[in-house]
Chain A
Amino acid sequence: MASSTYRLTDFIHEVQARYIASTPNTFWSCGSALQQLISAGVVQDWLNDQLQALAKDPHHVGNWNAQQATLHKEAAWSLSVALFDTQRRFIHALPFQAFYVPLKYELTGKLFQLPPGFRNDVFDPSLSLTAAGDVKVDPLELLKLETERYAYDFLVPRPIPVLRFATASLRPLEWLFSKTSLQAWQANDADLSLTQLRIGAFVLGKIAHQSSVAPLRRLASHPHHAVRWAAIQNLGRLSRSEALIKIREAVNDQHPHVRRAAQKTLDQLDKPKQR
């Protein structure tokens, strides 16, 4: 069904050669490959292949869900088509870099500067965004989402199909800001696996079987601060001595929230002795 010489596999190979995940800025060098992919009609060809597979086998399940259809995904990046059909309730500061390409209608929205001193991994509800103008991209043009500096609020006057070429999460949290006050509202784990790990730590703590000490100890060294703290808290249900070692280490943790929680816990543990 392919109607062009440039294929999806050509794009994949080119991105694999150009994008080095440890150097996020190399992602931007893939823009020309993305432009070539769009010009060659690869997205439409891929879509037709999916429809053909579905027509041939009504039970066929592709890599699509209710939010997007994924053309390709690997650990460091993904390429998908999403239908923007609902205005988002909050302004999201995204944890990944991306090119967005509106495939049929223009994509417009507001641009916001992230606050001075913004540190993605330390949620601070006192921080707020600053309006930084408008953003407008014509159909088939590339929008470079510079998410380390800006948050975007896209308008959805009609359903807008958008090609999303994005890195995997580069930062641990996705912050949400109020649209009215522009203040930070909450931050979610950038990656669902991180939430799953916290739930896993919580369940192991609840079941409290000694065989779980080793996995909880490993989780206590996880790069994500909330996973580390969940592991330490739940380790306390299995082994007080192990947990105390980790809490004392956590007083010097690189993350201020972990340091504060660890110190508070130690202070509480010391209280009965002071009486």
Chain B
Amino acid sequence: MALSIPCSPTRAVTIEDYLEHVRSDVDVRDVDSIAGSASMLRALANDRSLVISELNSRIENYFTEGALPSAQALLLGKGEGFYVRASIWPAIADMASGRAYQDQFSYNLAHDHNFSFLTVNYLGPGYETEIYEYDPDKVQGYVGESVDLRFLEKVRFGTGVAMLYRANRDVHVQYPPTELTITLNLMIADRDYRVRDQYFFDLASRTIAGYPHELPSSARTSLLTIAGHIGNANTVEMLSDLAAQHPCRRTRLAAYEALGRQQPDDAIGIWERAAADDAPLVSKEAQKRLRQFERA
């Protein structure tokens, strides 16, 4: 399917108009329906006071509320299963001079997203992005796994076009723009994205390089690891439930790990149960652990 959607309406709509449009006309579970919203999102980008008034008021509010959640991702509005935000992308020269910080922005890292989103350029020349796709059904999800990444296109994402990124299918590498660039994004945030994974990819070796820290599954894994270390007798039952039933395979694997740590005497039985898990991410790790027990 085409990821670049040409659109250049001349009319402008307000954020309220756009939110109402998504609420009433877009099925956020259907990528074709999301793509159909491109022209309206482009029309929202024609509201030239949208971002500046939001950022001005954020800074004014800082002095009363004492916190500025983010200056590079501005939430503009939201509805059931979606939100609209502006993203700010500093220029390559501003990175080099230290006026903006590389680690605040996901430049030069190939990654997918665990949610779909539609994006249009709002200000500046736009950034360059390389887009690949992969089949999530063929990925087990472990670090170092080979992934069949298919190159789709390299585009300069400027005005007159909207881009649609499909959850867990499109992979992109984003390069810093030559000048400050601002994009508007329609982000699809259904509940299921919390149990889906997201990956960093190593394009040279075409493998999974890691998981973003901010993923809900990374947070769950960390919580379960802590539970494995410091849990008490009551912890075991809940770890067993999570290992058996949680829909996220990384979470199930972390629950088995935590159980094994909590009940070292039952470790073989725990990993035998894990070996029967439907997800190879869990079952292969379990088989590896069982082989280690055999050798010991």
- 19 pairs from A and B in contact (CB 8 Å cutoff): A1-B234, A41-B232, A48-B234, A51-B238, A54-B220, A54-B223, A59-B195, A62-B223, A66-B214, A68-B222, A69-B223, A69-B226, A103-B230, A161-B226, A197-B62, A203-B71, A203-B88, A204-B56, A215-B60
Q: List residues 195-219 of chain B with CB under 8 A from any CB of chain A.
A: 195, 213-216, 218-219
* Total A residues in contact with B, Cβ cutoff 8 Å: 48
Q: Residues on A close to B: CB < 8 A?
A: 1, 3, 41, 43-44, 47-48, 50-52, 54-55, 58-59, 61-62, 64-69, 75, 81, 83, 103-104, 159, 161, 193, 195-197, 199-204, 206-207, 209, 211-212, 214-215, 218-219
Contact between B238 and A196 (Cβ–Cβ < 8 Å)?
Answer: no
B residues adjacent to A (C-beta < 8 A): 49, 51-53, 55-56, 58-60, 62-63, 66-72, 88, 90, 94, 99-101, 104, 123, 180, 182, 191-192, 194-195, 213-216, 218-227, 229-232, 234-235, 238-239, 241-242, 245-248, 251
Known contacts A61-B216, A69-B222, A81-B226; decide if A52 and B53 are in contact (CB<8 Å). no
Measured between alpha carbons, how far is A64 from B219 in the docked complex, in Å?
Answer: 6
Q: Within 8 Å CB of B231, what residues of A?
A: 44, 47-48
Name the contact of A200 in the complex, choosing from B55, B215, B224 (C-beta under 8 A).
Answer: B55
* A50 and B194 contacting across the interface, CB-CB below 8 Å: no
Chain B residues lying within 8 Å of A43, measured Cβ to Cβ, are: 230
Would B99 and A202 count as touching, CB distance under 8 A?
yes
Cβ-defined contact, A196 with B214, below 8 A: no
CA distance A206 to B214 in the complex (A): 29
Cβ contact within 8 Å between B70 and A54 = no
| CB pair A199 B88 closer than 8 Å | yes
Shortest beta-carbon distance from A219 to chain B in Å: 6
Verify A47–B220 contact, CB threshold 8 A. Answer: no
Q: In the bound complex, what is the Cα–Cα distance between A83 and B222 (angstroms)?
A: 8
Chain B residues positioned under 8 Å from A104 (CB to CB):
229-230
Give me 5 other A-B pairs in contact (C-beta within 8 A), A48-B232, A48-B235, A195-B104 excluded: A51-B224, A66-B213, A83-B225, A202-B94, A215-B60
Q: Which of A55, A64, A204 contacts B59 (CB 8 A)?
A: A204
Check A55 against B56 for contact (C-beta < 8 Å): no
Compute how far the CA of A68 lies from the CA of B239 in the bound complex, rounded to whole angstroms. 18
Judge whether A58 and B246 touch: CB under 8 Å: yes
Contact A75 B66 (CB under 8 A): yes
Decide if A219 touches B222 in the complex (CB within 8 Å). no
B58, B180, B191: the one within 8 Å of A59 (CB): B191
Q: Please tell me if the beta carbons of A44 and B246 are within 8 angstroms of each other in the complex.
A: no
Set of chain A residues within 8 Å of B59, measured between Cβ atoms: 197, 200-201, 204, 215, 218-219
Instruction: Determine the chain A residues whose CB is within 8 A of the CB of B194 once the complex forms.
Output: 59, 61
- In the complex, what residues of B have CB within 8 A of residue A218's CB? 59-60, 63
Instruction: Find out whether the CB atom of A207 lies under 8 angstroms from the CB atom of B60.
Output: no
Main secondary structure of the interface of A (DSSP, over half): helix
The contact of B56 among A51, A58, A69, A215, by CB within 8 Å, is A215
Alpha-carbon distance A199/B191, docked complex (angstroms): 31
The smallest beta-carbon distance between B247 and chain A, in angstroms, is 5
Query: Is there an interface contact between A50 and B71, defined as CB atoms closer than 8 Å?
Result: no
Establish whether residues A200 and B229, one from each chain, have CB atoms under 8 Å apart when the complex forms: no
- Give the residues in chain A near B123, CB-CB below 8 Å: 207
Q: Which residues of A contact B220 (CB under 8 A)?
A: 54, 64
Q: Is the beta-carbon distance between B213 and A67 smaller than 8 angstroms?
A: yes
Alpha-carbon separation in the docked complex, A41 to B216 (Å): 26
B219 and A66 within 8 A (CB): yes
Q: What separation, in Å, do the CA atoms of A54 and B221 have in the docked complex?
A: 12
| Given A159-B225, A215-B59, A58 contacting B248 (CB threshold 8 A) | yes
- Complex formed: what's the CA distance from A195 to B239 in Å? 39
B223 close to A209 (CB less than 8 A) = no
Given A47-B231, A66-B214: A196 touches B219 (CB 8 Å cut-off)? no
Q: Are B90 and A202 in contact (CB under 8 A)?
A: yes
Are the CB atoms of A193 and B213 closer together than 8 Å? no
State the Cβ distance, B70 to closest chain A Cβ, in Å. 6
Residue of B nearest to A221 (CB): B63
Question: In this complex, what residue of B is CB-closest to A234?
Answer: B99
